[in-house]
Structure 1
Amino acid sequence: MEIVRRTTHVIQLCVCVTLLLLITATHSFYLPGVAPQDFAKGDLLNVKVNKLTSIKTQLPYSFYSLPYCKPVKIMDSAENLGEVLRGDRIENSPYVFKMREPQMCNIVCRITLDAKQAKEFKERIDDDYLVNMILDNLPLVVPYKRSDIDSLVYQHGFRVGLKGQYTGSKEEKYFIHNHLTFTVKFHKDEQTGAARIVGFEVKPFSVKHEYEGNWDDKTRLTTCNPHAKRTVTSSDSPQEVEDKKEIIFTYDVEFEESEVKWASRWDTYLLMADDQIHWFSIVNSLMIVLFLSGMVAMIMLRTLYRDISNYNQLETQEEAQEETGWKLVHGDVFRQPTNSDLLCVYVGSGVQFFGMVLVMMIFAALGFLSPSNRGGLMTAMLLLWVFMGLFAGYSSARLYKMFKGTEWKKITLRTAFMFPGIVFAIFFVLNALIWGEKSSGAVPFGTMFALMFLWFGISVPLVFVGSYVGFKKPAIEDPVKTNKIPRQIPKQAWYMTPVFSILIGGILPFGAVFIELFFILTSIWLHQFYYIFGFLFLVFIILIVTCAEITIVLCYFQLCSEDYLWWWRSYLTSGSSALYLFLYTAFYFFTKLNITKPISGILYFGYMLIASYAFFVLSGTIGFYACFWFTRLIYSSVKID
């Protein structure tokens, strides 16, 4: 009765935490600016600035790290945990529009660069940094025409400036984009007359502004004609970046009515890539993997059915015939493996990661984690990871008790600290490197404290609760008895050696995800939106099936060759796909990315090492449980004296 009572309390706790997560996710989805907002004519539109980003360095910087024009008071916007971890720094700006009231030749400010500021601008221009802005939760884009496709494509943010030659000079000079022509697209409601913003575009220009007389509030620029259709053109003299150079920042804003409705305004941002290749590649991969999985399943079912029928027939006929194949090792197949404690820890961590990924993908497929909710995906991952510590402790304790373990608190501590400890150590080193570069991507002290609280204050106690409940349950009984003296394993063929079979086993699971992996890496490192969560969920299901089936097949061949050491090999067989994943990320680095700085390369491989390690734990746990279920099934299906 005590166990029932405690289990009831744990279930109630799980329900409460689940409801809390759902409320948090829903609240995060409907942040201010995410819900539809109506604007009447003349309403103020405040443009917010975000981080400066570059695919060359992968180091974000805050907008005001460069000497851009500043408002009277810089105010930081409230950011969720995921936004902070992404390096977002959303602040107000001096760019203020009035709804449906065009403005031409607006002067923002005038600055004179010193040597240090000019050097900073040149460094950002060399590294192809982009300036990101936000209006009504829509990121700023630059439309441009590509020669290979008919439709327009969009670039997130505009470049800080350009580097090139001018007026026949052979010397390359730096030019800053100091004039911005904004286009705000809106959809008008015919009944109410209010409008909703459905697009935010810009065309940047570099213009060396000139004016007459002394500078004051009434100064009129001679290089900017407010009565022309386009106030400035790219043929004007560009603004050079040099020490003691005067730079005048200006902008235009025009409003354009659009047929696009508010609910569809993100379609333009999400359809930036060539989706035909994406969809065709995913479908092709899924068809191949499904075909191979079906073939493997069919072969395994027919072979096993024949084996079990033959074994049972021999028992009923009482034929004194020597046993062969996988039945021969029935007295050793459930013998406790070496380093069983470590296996329990990794299985528990894998269950935790599996639960996090599964629930997160369901949330994403339902639309809670759409790209319009910045940082929502990262926040959901952390919260789900913390909550799934309950299942990590439960699964590791159940397996530990099956191995006749008694010190459940010791295994609980290792489960709670080993995997997240390794990940946090790598993350801490990488964060220190980012701090050294003074990047906004460095996690602040307050956020680091919040992460530590989630780990020590919530995750660790939940692991202990799950472990306590799991250890109180009766131990899992083996379907056959284990002999006291271990059987000698015969010499194996070269293709059945552990190293070879483990490396072969990881190819098929990696083949199920590597095409989708390309688009995931592109969205992360080339700053594009990833949005096809439905296909990602299908790929995840295929990954589960392939990890399970390839592990079962190789485990069956291993047992048939009278090698009963399957515990660790089942985990490593599917887990070896993480090795191919890391090798692919290295291939992607050298073929698709243009990273030149050593610090950026260290960050890339550091984060990809964390991702590969997590993938190893996830795929390895799937393979282990599949093989665990398979061995228990086949040995409980035959008659053994």
Structure 2
Amino acid sequence: MAALRFMLSSILYSRADKCIFPTGYSVKSYRDDEPIPLLVNKIFSDNSQLQYAYFDLPFVCPPTGKKHAGSPFGSGQSISLNLGEVLRGDRIMTSDFELSMGQDVECRTLCKREVDREGVKWGRWLIENGYVAEWILDNLPGATSFVTVDRSRKYYASGFKIGYQDYSSVDSKPQTFIHNHFTIVIRWGKAPGKAGEQGGKVIVGFEVYPKSISPASRKESGCPREMQGDYDRLELYLAPNTSRLAEKYPSSSYIPVDDLEEDDGATLQIPYSYSVYFREEDKIDWSNRWDLYFSDQADSSTAHWLAILNSLTISGVLGVTVLVIWGRTVQGDIKGRGDGALEDGKMKIRSKAPKNEAKSPGGFEKTSGSLLDQSLDGEKDADLSLEEESLEEMTGWKLLHGDVFRVPAYSGLLAPLVGSGMQLLFMAAGLLILSCLGVLSPSFRGGFVSVGMGLFIFAGLLSGYFSGRLYKIFGGQNWQKNTLITALLFPGMMFCLIFVLNLFVWAQASSTAIPFGTLVALVALWLLIQVPLVYVGSWIGFVRTTPWDHPTKTNSIPRQMPPQPWYLRSLHGVLLTGLVPFAVLFIELLFVFKNLWQDKTGYYYVFGFLSAVSAILIVTVSEVTIITTYSQLCAENYHWWWQSFLTGGSSAFWIFAYSIWYYIFKLHITGFVSSLLFFSYSFLACAVYGLLTGTVGFLTAYAFIRRIYRCESDFPASLRLSSISPPF
């Protein structure tokens, strides 16, 4: 029950806002002089997959534990997070910043922090790797403000740098400076409705402008002497202890770097201060205050439309091909043939009797006396000639009706994979629909992951149903074993991979590491909720429902296949078919990858474009699978079960190859653990995608084959299998 409550609270509620379905969240208005809590979260970088909690940094002001901004909690108190926030590495805590609505603060000291050599070394590494800090005010992340080249428009980049690098004017060596003064600009507007009429104000912008100011440029109180003038910067550097090194290496001119940075008790004092300014903003409403974080999306809308146009073009060409195939099979090969039917691998033709024929008492055909004197040898010769003529017309897929539904190899693995694919398909469709409706908005921090996890778990019903029903079609008997494989195979592999990666991240003391309590909660959700749901779905699919009917019977002896073309007997053909869906998705992948691996904000805002491309992608995968399956059947190859699954998911290979290219040419990730996380998460995402699209391809091929072989319903009543006269 505790695990269930944890999951439900993670899905339904964000950190601090109240959900109003389906339009958004409640508006928080402030009156003049009302305290505004400022929360600190984490630091992150484009060059690393490791994130760190803000208060874990050794060079920032530690929380004092005092209560500020009317909060019942002291600074350093952790804010309750939902499941998605925990998994994305958020560690939100209250801070010692004191802000009140409408009250400008020219300068206020925060603390003086002493940092040892180890802390200085780590801080320099973080700044060199471009780490930025994320603060939160009224559920808005602190942003760095930019303007376009023509200065016509402003936009935000989430977070602000904790420091920067510059080159010395003396020896041109790189120097590292740390930001220790923060100018906070809060933009407000009139609250909507009655709250605004009563003087309420809402926050529509949160900007942070950091500076590096040395102690020499500060007053005794700790505030800078000049806020806008010239001031000395604070270099994050501790000079080596030359006297100690001279004693250790008296006659050597070379000193190891480790000895230069060895902790000798020396510290660097870093004073921190901040300023606060409130500015009215009447051009931005509370409802669209997130638009500044996505202003670059307006510039990229042309590229999104080109992606949709490209996808529609590819899908349209394939659609014409599928229509031609459909016309040849259903209209031409079946309905257009009025002289035979499929039976035992041969087309039996029934010759038309003359008008004066009659039936003998035994049911045999006879005419006006001439056929009574016909010899038995003549009848056999006539039948043989008819069969030879029929076999000449029987080509391609029509010859496989007795083997096309033969149980494939490793069917006990195919059924669980298809079941898991349906589970992922339901989850992906639900996330895209909720995102397009605005339920999963950026203000619902961590909502995308939380809701996705909930949809995945409850979709265990679909997973068990499709797996159990397909397992019954394959003639399986031990459905409990199939249920166990379905419930444990893919989720178990995913959990084991995440657990192993978590050990590496935990060793780096990163906030990306999943806490032990969260791991226990995930296991509880998996074993206590998902597994029973898979069992119920499998019981319904195997016990309570009948298997899908097949229009033809399977021969006892498998048919020998002729030599196959290279694209049907090797993996190269499967990979080549994956290029077409990859071409549909390629342009949109550029934006998704940039958001995931470079921006690191998690605010992918163009779900309308992504949903359209995803729908076209599903159609394209179905079309490619139909074309490939028809080509395979025409080559008299009835091993289409696994082939259709692999064809549908083959584009995952190209997406992973694109991930490798993106890592080499677009990213600047450093460190073994960060690289390991990148490739592991990319592989996991491609596996999810491949399983989803592979299931779509399999079900499409299955429906297509059942349709073209459904002779009983497509043939006229006089030509169905039951109406064919026995040969003599």
Superposition TM-score, scaled by structure 2 size: 0.81
Residue number in structure 2 paired with 1:451: 522
Equivalent position amino acid for 2:52 in 1? Y
SS of the aligned residue for 2:98 comes to: strand
Q: Kindly tell me: are residues 607 and 547 of structure 1, through their superposed partners in 2, closer, same or farther at Cα, counting changes over 3 Å? A: same
Answer yes or no: is the 8 Å Cα contact 2:155–2:294 preserved in 1.
Answer: no
Q: CA deviation at 1:26?
A: 4.9
1:363 to 2:434 alignment: yes
1:302 to 2:327 alignment: yes
Q: Extract unaligned runs of 5+ from structure 2.
A: 20-24, 66-75, 239-266, 342-348, 352-385, 722-728
Report Cα offsets for 1:590-619 as digits up to 9, x if no partner: 121111212111110000010111111101
Q: CA deviation at 1:313?
A: 4.1
Q: Kindly tell me: are residues 71 and 355 of structure 1, through their superposed partners in 2, closer, same or farther at Cα, counting changes over 3 Å? A: same
Distance in 2 separating the partners of 1:212 and 1:593? 39
Answer yes or no: is the 8 Å Cα contact 1:29–1:376 preserved in 2.
Answer: no
Q: What aligned pairs does 1:66-77 form with structure 2 within 5 A after superposition?
A: 66=57, 67-73=59-65, 74-77=76-79
Deviates more, 1:440-449 or 1:114-123: 114-123
Q: What aligned pairs does 1:118-157 form with structure 2 within 5 A after superposition?
A: 118-145=120-147, 147=149, 150-157=152-159
Q: What is the aligned counterpart of 1:623 among 687, 691, 697?
A: 697
Q: What is the aligned counterpart of 2:620 among 546, 568, 581?
A: 546
Residue number in structure 2 paired with 1:31: 17
Superposition TM-score, scaled by structure 1 size: 0.91
Q: What is the aligned counterpart of 2:553 among 473, 481, 500?
A: 481
Q: What is the aligned counterpart of 2:237 among 242, 245, 250?
A: 242
Q: CA deviation at 1:486?
A: 0.7
Residue number in structure 2 paired with 1:466: 537
Q: What is the aligned counterpart of 1:193 among 199, 213, 217?
A: 199
Report Cα offsets for 1:507-551 as digits up to 9, x if no partner: 222222222222111111111420111222212211211111111
Residue number in structure 2 paired with 1:64: 55
Answer yes or no: is the 8 Å Cα contact 1:161–1:176 preserved in 2.
Answer: yes
Report Cα offsets for 1:211-241 as digits up to 9, x if no partner: 789x6xxx364x435xxxxx245x4210111
Residue number in structure 1 paired with 2:307: 282
Answer yes or no: is the 8 Å Cα contact 1:40–1:194 preserved in 2.
Answer: yes
Report Cα offsets for 1:270-300 as digits up to 9, x if no partner: 2235323442332332332332243223222
Q: Kindly tell me: are residues 582 and 94 of structure 1, through their superposed partners in 2, closer, same or farther at Cα, counting changes over 3 Å? A: same
Distance in 1 separating the partners of 2:668 and 2:212? 26
Answer yes or no: is the 8 Å Cα contact 1:347–1:621 preserved in 2.
Answer: yes
Q: Which has the larger radius of gyration?
A: 2
SS of the aligned residue for 1:98 comes to: coil
Report Cα offsets for 1:358-417 as digits up to 9, x if no partner: 112111111111111110000011111110111111111101111111000011100001
Q: CA deviation at 1:585?
A: 0.9
Residue number in structure 2 paired with 1:393: 464
Distance in 2 separating the partners of 1:525 and 1:386? 26
SS of the aligned residue for 1:354 comes to: helix
Q: What is the aligned counterpart of 1:114 among 70, 92, 116?
A: 116
> How many aligned positions are there?
613
Answer yes or no: is the 8 Å Cα contact 2:222–2:273 preserved in 1.
Answer: no
Distance in 2 separating the partners of 1:582 and 1:86? 22
Answer yes or no: is the 8 Å Cα contact 2:651–2:690 preserved in 1.
Answer: yes
Answer yes or no: is the 8 Å Cα contact 2:11–2:82 preserved in 1.
Answer: no
Q: Kindly tell me: are residues 82 and 212 of structure 1, through their superposed partners in 2, closer, same or farther at Cα, counting changes over 3 Å? A: closer
Answer yes or no: is the 8 Å Cα contact 1:56–1:594 preserved in 2.
Answer: yes
Distance in 2 separating the partners of 1:209 and 1:24? 45
Residue number in structure 1 paired with 2:377: none
Answer yes or no: is the 8 Å Cα contact 2:217–2:232 preserved in 1.
Answer: no
Q: CA deviation at 1:115?
A: 1.2
Equivalent position amino acid for 1:192 in 2? Q
Q: What aligned pairs does 1:226-265 form with structure 2 within 5 A after superposition?
A: 231-233=227-229, 235-243=230-238, 244-259=267-282, 260-265=284-289
Q: CA deviation at 1:475?
A: 2.7
Q: What aligned pairs does 1:39-118 form with structure 2 within 5 A after superposition?
A: 39-66=30-57, 67-73=59-65, 74-118=76-120
Equivalent position amino acid for 1:294 in 2? G
Equivalent position amino acid for 1:328 in 2? L
Distance in 2 separating the partners of 1:336 and 1:604? 39
Distance in 2 separating the partners of 1:445 and 1:371? 27
Distance in 1 separating the partners of 2:127 and 2:189? 36
Report Cα offsets for 1:26-66 as digits up to 9, x if no partner: 54498259521111110111111111001111110000121
Answer yes or no: is the 8 Å Cα contact 2:421–2:692 preserved in 1.
Answer: yes
Answer yes or no: is the 8 Å Cα contact 1:154–1:272 preserved in 2.
Answer: no
Residue number in structure 1 paired with 2:293: 269
Q: What aligned pairs does 1:432-443 form with structure 2 within 5 A after superposition?
A: 432-443=503-514
Answer yes or no: is the 8 Å Cα contact 2:564–2:635 preserved in 1.
Answer: yes
SS of the aligned residue for 2:188 comes to: strand
Q: Kindly tell me: are residues 206 and 313 of structure 1, through their superposed partners in 2, closer, same or farther at Cα, counting changes over 3 Å? A: farther
Distance in 2 separating the partners of 1:437 and 1:149? 42
Report Cα offsets for 1:108-161 as digits up to 9, x if no partner: 111222212211211111111101101000001111345488533422211111
Q: What is the aligned counterpart of 1:208 among 199, 202, 214?
A: 214
Distance in 2 separating the partners of 1:313 and 1:363? 54
Answer yes or no: is the 8 Å Cα contact 1:501–1:554 preserved in 2.
Answer: no
Q: CA deviation at 1:163?
A: 1.6
Distance in 2 separating the partners of 1:308 and 1:29? 61
Answer yes or no: is the 8 Å Cα contact 1:397–1:467 preserved in 2.
Answer: yes
After superposition, the CA RMSD in angstroms is: 2.3
Q: What is the aligned counterpart of 2:583 among 502, 511, 515?
A: 511
Q: Extract unaligned runs of 5+ from structure 1.
A: 1-16, 226-230
Answer yes or no: is the 8 Å Cα contact 1:224–1:232 preserved in 2.
Answer: no
Q: Kindly tell me: are residues 314 and 517 of structure 1, through their superposed partners in 2, closer, same or farther at Cα, counting changes over 3 Å? A: same
SS of the aligned residue for 2:145 comes to: strand
Deviates more, 1:334-343 or 1:302-311: 302-311
Identity of aligned residues (%): 37
1:352 to 2:353 alignment: no
SS of the aligned residue for 1:97 comes to: coil
Distance in 2 separating the partners of 1:479 and 1:50? 61
Deviates more, 1:512-521 or 1:132-141: 512-521
Residue number in structure 2 paired with 1:174: 176
Q: What is the aligned counterpart of 2:412 among 336, 341, 352?
A: 341
SS of the aligned residue for 1:96 comes to: coil
Answer yes or no: is the 8 Å Cα contact 1:293–1:545 preserved in 2.
Answer: no
SS of the aligned residue for 2:51 comes to: coil
Q: Kindly tell me: are residues 22 and 32 of structure 1, through their superposed partners in 2, closer, same or farther at Cα, counting changes over 3 Å? A: closer
Distance in 1 separating the partners of 2:147 and 2:28? 31
